[in-house]
């Protein structure tokens, strides 16, 4: 094969890729939708629902025991499968605000997103924050209004909310027939047909779909059909007509209605992701130069996870391929350490299930096993010249706790577990000379991160921990190391060191910080990245 043939092959394969994330507020049905998409792609034969429903197993993407027990996603998960000659890289993200830093990292690795709204609740605070991240990154968004099989709000009201609260023009592609809770089917606005769904036992299998002409639909469902057509026409005539360029530039969103737990409307969403969602494009490196898709191999690590296989407790680094061809066994360079990294063990991920991956192309997510040398934000590349993609920023923590082993004889396991959690980004790890390495400080965006850290230390490292909360709620970056003593001398403040070299000045509250600044106007304090920045 010539170099030209190889470049054409990479470009062709990149065009086949669709990499997207599902984002939503907790309990909007995100993991259920993720599994329904896999069901319609026929890569699983039967869907599960959230844990706890009689006779139903947990969703494929929720593999952690805490997720299965609570019925929520607390860590992101990757699913890769083929559909219609395309390769889907679907990333399910945590919906809970306490894990928004994990979601932010995932959004750095995708080309589009599906925003899932609960028909009864509409736009919720976490959904707004996640959409802000998408807008900031220029990520096109498809909107799926879920749970139409349950009582909820008016369809027009939900669409108006998109325009009024986030200035995102809704462009409906389907419209519900029947109010929320009395779902009869949808109007397909492409051809005006009525798509009627048939329930299956517990929604565990693909729901059959039947298409009817407008005349037949009016005869069968009467007033519900007339109302649906009139509402859809009202919205499309008010600047809501579908325009793919507005979707691509993230100024408008296609809107679909459905019920993921019953698999209603899911096939249309999957088809739209193939037809509309963007394929990978050249990604800019840290200097702002686009990396050609057909150039030498490059990728960046956006997530590190341990414990997906309880029998082995191996560490998997998830990396998004940005350019070139990845081949298992190739030796690449870690741009952070400048050291070579052998890729002998590489896996394709489908939730907790894994299989060996030999080749990957731009847009694919690869799982590098036993990758203890890799950290979130690392760039991997082959050949020359060297490349490095922008790092992934850490959010400003808002909760702090001193961690120590409940049993001092487990100190070795404690140190190993703490270092592992910090490498994964489960919590930020802070240290100080005052407390020493034996008593690190956990820093978190939300308190549930502490629960996850404690649970994993106990169950994966056999080391129960005691967490002593610290009374800090205001944090800034210390701009001048020589001023460290000023903060440490305060009654309600101290400086702690983060693993990336950042010195964090912690204060009991904003008032305490302002008092210190009045007393020491020369003190150099800088803001940190917050959620949605």
State which residues form the domain around 500: 399-526
| Statement to judge: residues 216 and 322 lie in one domain | no
Cα–Cα distance for residue pair 76/410, rounded to 1 Å: 29
Q: Which of 275, 308, 342 represents a domain boundary (last residue)? A: 275
Residue 80 included in any domain: no
Residue 93 lies inside a defined structural domain of this protein: no
Tell me what pLDDT residue 351 has. 54
For residue 262, the domain's CATH number is 3.40.50.300
* Same structural domain, 129 and 237: yes
For helices 155-166 and 223-235, the axis angle rounded to 10 degrees is 20
Residue where one domain finishes, among candidates 355, 381, 407: 381
Q: From the annotation, which residues make up the binding site? A: 92-96
One domain, residues 344 and 238: no
Residue that finishes a domain, picked among 255, 275, 295: 275
Q: What DSSP element (H or E) covers 164? A: helix 155-166
Q: What is the mean pLDDT of residues 380-384?
A: 93
| pTM over the 0.85 mark | no
Domain membership flag for residue 24:
yes
- Between 214 and 77, name the one with better pLDDT: 214
Tell me: cis bond preceding 491? Omega within 30 of 0 counts: no
- Domain assignment present for 197: yes
Same domain, 125 and 250: yes
Please indicate, yes or no, whether residues 483 and 346 belong to a single structural domain of this protein. Answer: no
Output the 3-class SS for 379-434: EEECCCCCCCCCCCCCCCCCEEEEEEECCHHHHHHHHHHHHHHHHHCCCEEEECCC
pLDDT in tens, 64-88: 444 444 444 434 467 888 999 999 9
- Confirm whether 387 is domain-assigned: no
pLDDT digits (tens, 9 = 90+) for 282-332: 999 999 999 999 999 999 999 887 765 555 556 788 999 999 999 999 999
> Quick one: 349 and 446 in the same domain?
no
Residue length, the chain? 533
Extract the annotated binding site for GTP.
Answer: 92-96
The model's pLDDT over 358-380, given as tens digits with 9 standing for 90+, comes to 899 999 999 888 888 888 889 99
Domain count, the chain: 3
Check whether residue 271 and residue 358 sit in a common domain.
no
pLDDT tens digit string along 406-418?
A: 999 999 999 998 9
Cα-Cα-Cα-Cα torsion 499, 503, 506, 512, nearest 10 degrees, comes to: -170
Same domain, 454 and 495: yes
The closest alpha carbon to 178, from 211, 224, 146, belongs to: 224
Q: What is the CATH number of the domain that holds 290?
A: 2.40.30.10
Model pLDDT for residues 474-486, shown as the tens digit of each residue: 999 999 999 999 9
The answer to the question of residue 1 being in a domain is no
Q: Are residues 358 and 429 in the same domain?
A: no
Same domain membership, residue 292 and residue 267: no
Domain containing 463 — which CATH number? 3.30.70.3280
* 403 and 514 part of one domain: yes
What 3-state DSSP class applies to 364? coil
Q: How big is the CA angle at 478 (ends 476 and 482), to the nearest 5 degrees?
A: 160
Computed over every residue of the chain, the mean pLDDT equals 85
Q: Give the three-class secondary structure for 81.
A: strand
Q: Check whether residue 270 and residue 142 sit in a common domain.
A: yes
Do the domain assignments include residue 102? no
Does residue 147 belong to any structural domain of this protein?
yes
Which segment of 124-133, 185-194, 280-289, 334-343 scores lowest on mean pLDDT?
124-133
Q: In whole angstroms, what is the distance from residue 185 CA to residue 207 CA?
A: 12
């Amino acid at each position: 094969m010539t170099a030209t043939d190889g470049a054409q092959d990479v470009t062709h394969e990149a065009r086949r890729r669709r990499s997207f994330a599902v984002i939503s507020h907790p309990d909007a049905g995100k993991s259920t939708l993720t599994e329904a998409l896999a069901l319609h792609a026929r890569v699983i034969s039967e869907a599960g629902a959230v844990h706890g429903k009689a006779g139903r197993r947990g969703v494929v993407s929720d593999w952690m025991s805490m997720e299965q027990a609570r019925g929520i996603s607390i860590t992101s998960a990757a699913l890769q499968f083929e559909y219609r000659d395309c390769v889907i890289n679907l990333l399910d993200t945590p919906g809970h605000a306490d894990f928004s830093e994990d979601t932010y990292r995932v959004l750095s690795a995708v080309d589009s997103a599906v925003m899932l709204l609960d028909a009864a609740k509409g736009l919720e605070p976490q959904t707004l924050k996640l959409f802000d991240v998408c807008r900031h990154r220029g990520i096109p968004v498809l909107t799926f209004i879920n749970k139409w099989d349950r009582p909820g709000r008016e369809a027009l009201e939900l669409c108006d909310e998109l325009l009024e609260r986030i200035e995102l023009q809704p462009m409906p592609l389907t419209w519900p027939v029947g109010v929320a809770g009395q779902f009869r089917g949808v109007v397909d606005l492409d051809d005006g047909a009525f798509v009627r769904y048939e329930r299956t036992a517990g929604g565990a299998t693909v729901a059959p779909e039947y298409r009817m002409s407008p005349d037949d639909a009016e005869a069968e469902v009467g007033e519900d059909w007339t109302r649906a057509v009139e509402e859809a026409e009202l919205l499309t005539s008010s600047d809501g007509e579908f325009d793919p360029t507005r979707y691509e530039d993230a100024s408008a969103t296609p809107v679909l209605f459905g019920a993921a737990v019953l698999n209603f409307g899911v096939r249309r969403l999957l088809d739209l992701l193939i037809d509309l969602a963007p394929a990978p494009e050249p990604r800019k490196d840290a200097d702002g130069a686009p990396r050609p898709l057909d150039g030498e191999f490059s990728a960046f690590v956006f997530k590190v996870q341990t414990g997906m296989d309880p029998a082995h407790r191996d560490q998997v680094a998830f990396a998004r391929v940005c350019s070139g061809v990845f081949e298992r066994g190739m030796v690449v360079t870690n741009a952070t350490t400048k050291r070579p990294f052998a890729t002998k063990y590489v896996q394709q991920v489908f939730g907790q299930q894994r299989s060996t991956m030999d080749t990957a192309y731009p847009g694919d997510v690869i799982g590098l096993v036993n990758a203890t040398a890799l950290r979130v934000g690392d760039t991997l590349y082959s050949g020359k010249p060297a490349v490095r993609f922008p790092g992934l920023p850490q959010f400003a923590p808002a909760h702090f706790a001193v961690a120590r082993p409940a049993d001092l004889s487990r100190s070795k396991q404690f140190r190993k577990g703490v270092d592992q959690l910090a490498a994964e980004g489960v919590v930020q790890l802070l240290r100080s000379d005052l407390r020493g390495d034996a008593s690190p400080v956990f820093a978190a965006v939300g308190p549930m991160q502490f629960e996850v850290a404690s649970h994993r230390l106990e169950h994966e490292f056999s080391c129960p921990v005691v967490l002593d909360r610290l009374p800090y709620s205001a944090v800034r970056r210390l701009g001048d190391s020589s001023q460290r003593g000023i903060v440490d001398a305060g009654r309600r403040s101290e400086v702690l060191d983060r693993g990336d070299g950042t010195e964090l000045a912690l204060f009991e509250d904003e008032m305490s910080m302002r008092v210190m600044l009045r007393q020491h106007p020369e003190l150099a304090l800088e803001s940190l990245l917050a959620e949605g920045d």
